[in-house]
Amino acid sequence: MRTTSVPRLPLLLLLALIWPGGAGGVRITELDVPAVALEGDDVHLRCDYEDEGGSSLYTLKWYKDDQEFFRHQPGRAPREGDDHCRDHHLYHVDGVTVDCWVSTERDVVLQSVTKATSGDYQCEVIGEHPKFRKETRRARLTIFSEDLRAPLLLGAEESYSLMDYVTLNCSSLNTEYMPELTWLINNRPANQSMVREVDSRTAGLVFQVRPEHFQRGEINVACVTSLGPRHKMSTPVQLPNRDGPSVKGYFFNTGHRMEASGALFILATLSQLRTLASPAL
């Protein structure tokens, strides 16, 4: 009697097919790799995961440009020749220095990054027996050497009246990269309807002056340039009210206007006190 041969399935695949409980395993819920950083920064990488279907973590690995540099494998004893600290196993990769004493299985810290640290970073998680389900995610990190520079702000006039138009330009002075440019009016983000893109390195701000814009006799505007969440610089400018009191017309720490009559009364009183205190000739 002729029989038909059945191809042998790999043992792990066979177990995955017959084991009850669906497609359980370990799933990546968050991959956080900063897009940019500056030389000398400490860069935090995060790969968060959760268990599914009763599985647990078998191993978590980090790769740079497909080269493994970090492994967390619960319960694995260090092998001879391993570079390890705590529960982590480290592997040499150019441009990567891990601060393993503050790193965890979910958060890895790269110390004092250089341009050689730039690359594609991949997190890989594998669930425990019996399925050993694997999931990966990848993101790009770029390191720059040029320090962030304060932006150039142009176009401010000496003073403004109500209903005048304020037209300002803000330009990045960095050449290695283009940071993000944003505007603040009285320490609050400007409405996007006021912002204009002039060119690839310049953002404009256009708005009509309203009474609420003046605070203590002037409008405070700032252009902010930023590279990632850690690096920010700003260039501020004060726009005085042409028709109202200047900021000097207000008490230093109250924000109330000093009326002219009150100021004259104070000056007259001080003058009389000086006369009384002066010795008679």
Task: For 192-246, give the DSSP string.
Answer: GGGEEEEETTEEEEEEE--GGG-BTTEEEEEEEEEETTTEEEEEEEEEEBSSS--
Would you state the structure tokens that stand for residue 65, as one six-digit string? 């440009």
Confidence of residue 241 (pLDDT cuts 50, 70, 90): very high
Q: What is the pLDDT of residues 168-224, one digit of tens each?
A: 999 999 999 999 999 999 999 999 999 999 999 999 999 999 999 999 999 999 999
**Cβ(158)–Cβ(243) below 8 Å:** no
Question: Is residue 261 pLDDT above 80, yes or no?
Answer: no
Query: Whole-structure pTM over 0.75, yes or no?
Result: no
CB 73, CB 63: distance < 8 Å: no
- In eight-state DSSP terms, residue 117 is G
The two domains 11-144 and 152-252 share their CATH topology (first three levels equal): yes
Residue 69's pLDDT band (boundaries 50, 70, 90)?
very high
pLDDT at position 64: 98
| Ranges of each domain in the chain | 11-144, 152-252
250 burial type by CB count under 10 A (0-12 exposed, 13-18 middle, 19+ buried): middle
For residue 269, count CB atoms less than 10 angstroms from its CB and return exposed for 0-12, middle for 13-18, buried for 19 or more: exposed
Please state which of the four CATH numbers 2.170.120.12, 1.10.10.60, 3.40.960.10, 2.60.40.10 is assigned to the domain occupying 11-144: 2.60.40.10
152-252 to CATH, choices 3.30.565.10, 2.60.40.10, 2.40.10.10, 2.40.50.100: 2.60.40.10
